[in-house]
Structure 1
Amino acid sequence: MPIWTPPKFPFLLSPPPSSLSLLLFPLLRSLSAKSNPLLFFSADEVPAPPPQAQGFTPPLASPLSCRLLMGWEGCWLLGDNASFLSGPIPFVKKFSSKEIKKATDGYSMILGNGRHGTIYKARFHDGLVASVRKIQFMQQGKNAFYRKVQLLGRLHHRHLVRLQGFSEGNDRFLVFDHMENGSLKEYLHDPLRTPLNWRTRLQIAVDVAAALEYLHYFCDPPVYNVSINSNNVLLDENFVAKLSDVGFLDSDLNQIDEPNCTFSEEHIDQRSKELLFQFGVLILELITGQSLGGDDELVQWVQESGFVYSMHKMVDADLGDSYDSKELKSLLVLARLCTKTGDGPLISIPQILRYLQGKG
């Protein structure tokens, strides 16, 4: 059987699909391309990004193509390849409890506390500098923990914080790459930090969209359990943005053992809407430097018909005049599309990414 690799996407390290999937993939590609040609493409087929012109509205995603890509085909491939979770975990190292304790200087190098536990900075004897997250022991059973490690160990993308290893004993730890420049939230809201320039902010939006595309469209099963906010967007030493705190819901983990798993249309639509909304909020935060409160005043503002007339007043004061007005308007239109409420088709992550990449 020929080895399947997606064209022009070398970062994908998911298991190969079954022979039956190989036969039907062209059909799925053809059907979905008719309803939404942006969802299936090779690098040479990507349409040129839309012009930065007034009144531009990106094309909308087709629910049918999303169901085919994320539901039917994704679960089908998982069912035929569920056995790939057995055996050793590639690319992930198992650390002893002693190694973790020594690397964190007796658990004294605390970076902070996340929603899943305390985070430490660690220096291992081989030179690895990492962020070690202590997992609340009662959150998951042993089998669920191992399944999570196995799945996280197979997520490889330039804009995801990579899992380097784990430790399992009296305490459980996950070992991730350390991001030297901390979180986006710190750079947007800490007055002691050097403000991010306009180009860096644009690139961060591109980086996050690329990570979401990988999680939604190139992972099997698709990964939706990620919170998109400035605290979970981390910056490396070159200010490359990487999503952190990517995880799996209990229902996702349980589906690994189900050969005929299905993602309902409601399941896909609800998660997609939530993540699109969060991405739109992140764009607004990048533009304004403001953290949204419970009243979501910025979201209400960008949904107003005349928002363009006050958009320059909303730009982060730290940027001064060093931004492009056309790019600003286009980003706000994108944020408007992502945060709209009500029924109707949604803009897709691939569309968002191609659009943003045209502004780099």
Structure 2
Amino acid sequence: MEHRLLRRLKALTLLWRRRSRSGIPFVKSFTYKEINKATSGFGMILESGPQGTTYKARFPDGLVGAVKRVRSHQLQNDSFLKSVQLLGRLHHHHLVKLKGFSKGKERFLVFDYMENGRLKDYLHDPLKTPLNWRTRLQIAIDIAAALEYLQNFCEPPVYNVSISSNNIFLDENFVAKLSDVGFAGCELICNSESNIISEDTSEQRNRRLVFQFGMLLLELITGQSLLNEAEIVHWIQESEFAYSIHKMVDTDLGDQYDSKELGSLLVMARMCTKAENDTSISIRQILRFLQGQTEHSAFKCGKTKII
């Protein structure tokens, strides 16, 4: 009986190795044929743009994924595999999870499929049902939690992130997940190889992420695409901005928001976007502040806190 169990275990291990074909734990390697079939001959297009094309895919094992075609000029083959290895090690509830890849005839990345698409659409598409205030606050908390994980719980820390409504996806329960981590270039790969980040460099990167997060807060509050960063930053840094706060609130919210929470979030956005971010606020401090807002609201309303 024991020998039979051992043989069975070895067989399952070999099967897993064959299926993975990558040597990368928890990340499956797909063939071009498998990708082609799962996307119905690349017919199920989710989006197509300057960054490439993404397809919806249904695999025989039940996995529903979003398959992103990697342009040949973006990463060389060795760099591509190193990036896949790094992405495969990232596990957090608020990151879009890498499920697999293909490095055959063409290169693809397979991610979890997000049922409700991009945050950008819910803020700017008039055909979408507007997000309520509680959902917007929770999205800010979700993304701050993802950033805390990348900065404080990854070795080396991951700073190669773009924070925008275009890179934030919502699952079937409107839980926010950050995407495109580490693929804005080869910076992440270089960091993993050197494993050395100077204090000045890490501080600058933290400032950049904090600034981007402040801009995300403003986008969640105003519902506006903040193309003119200089103008919005100038407004929020003005001493008189408090008198025009309610004029900037997304009209889709009506009056269905907590004025004190709004004020607190705008103060936080102001700190994040302050010139040179000389307050040296950290992502961890931002997260604790936002969590404190929901805890206060839960206590005030007699409800379970939203986390």
The answer, yes or no, to whether TM exceeds 0.5 is: yes
Alignment of 1:215 onto 2:150: yes
| Aligned position for 2:129 | 194
How many equivalent pairs are there? 272
Decide which of 321, 344, 348 is 2:278's aligned counterpart: 344
RMSD value over aligned CA atoms?
Answer: 1.5
Structure 1, unpaired ranges of 5+: 1-86
1-structure distance, mates of 2:117, 2:277: 37
Secondary structure at 1:322 match in 2: coil
Alignment of 1:91 onto 2:30: no
Say if 1:223 and 1:208 are closer, same or farther in 2 by CA, change over 3 A.
same
| Aligned position for 1:266 | 200
Decide which of 94, 108, 115 is 1:173's aligned counterpart: 108
2-structure distance, mates of 1:187, 1:296: 24
Say if 1:134 and 1:279 are closer, same or farther in 2 by CA, change over 3 A.
same
Secondary structure at 2:213 match in 1: helix
Amino acid at match of 1:264: S
1-structure distance, mates of 2:253, 2:112: 30
| Aligned position for 1:225 | 160
Q: What is the deviation of 1:345?
A: 3.8
Amino acid at match of 2:245: M
Q: What is the deviation of 1:109?
A: 1.1
Higher helix proportion:
2
Q: What is the deviation of 1:170?
A: 1.4
| Aligned position for 2:3 | none
Q: Determine which structure has greater relative contact order: mean sequence separation of CA pairs < 8 Å that are 6+ residues apart, divided by chain length.
A: 1
**1:223-262 residue pairs with structure 2 within 5 A?**
223-247=158-182, 249-258=185-194, 261-262=195-196
Say if 1:354 and 1:255 are closer, same or farther in 2 by CA, change over 3 A.
closer
| Aligned position for 1:293 | 227
Most deviating of 239-248 and 249-258: 249-258
Alignment of 1:111 onto 2:33: no
Q: What is the deviation of 1:288?
A: 0.6
Alignment of 1:335 onto 2:269: yes
Q: What is the deviation of 1:88?
A: 1.9
CA deviation profile, 1:24-83 (whole Å, cap 9, x unmatched): xxxxxxxxxxxxxxxxxxxxxxxxxxxxxxxxxxxxxxxxxxxxxxxxxxxxxxxxxxxx
TM-score (norm 2): 0.85
1-structure distance, mates of 2:28, 2:277: 45
2-structure distance, mates of 1:241, 1:115: 24
2-structure distance, mates of 1:222, 1:274: 14
1-structure distance, mates of 2:58, 2:93: 22
Secondary structure at 1:231 match in 2: helix
1-structure distance, mates of 2:229, 2:270: 16
2-structure distance, mates of 1:127, 1:256: 33
Q: What is the deviation of 1:292?
A: 0.8
Decide which of 134, 143, 159 is 2:78's aligned counterpart: 143
CA deviation profile, 1:219-262 (whole Å, cap 9, x unmatched): 1111111110001110000000000111154243134344xx42
Q: What is the deviation of 1:115?
A: 5.4
2-structure distance, mates of 1:299, 1:120: 36
2-structure distance, mates of 1:291, 1:324: 22
Say if 1:252 and 1:168 are closer, same or farther in 2 by CA, change over 3 A.
same
Amino acid at match of 2:190: N
1-structure distance, mates of 2:33, 2:179: 25
2-structure distance, mates of 1:338, 1:194: 29
Instruction: Give the 4+ runs in structure 1 shifted more than 4 A.
Output: none
Amino acid at match of 1:328: L
| Aligned position for 2:211 | 277
Alignment of 1:133 onto 2:72: no
**Aligned sequence identity (%):** 64
**1:64-103 residue pairs with structure 2 within 5 A?**
88-103=23-38
Q: What is the deviation of 1:112?
A: 1.2
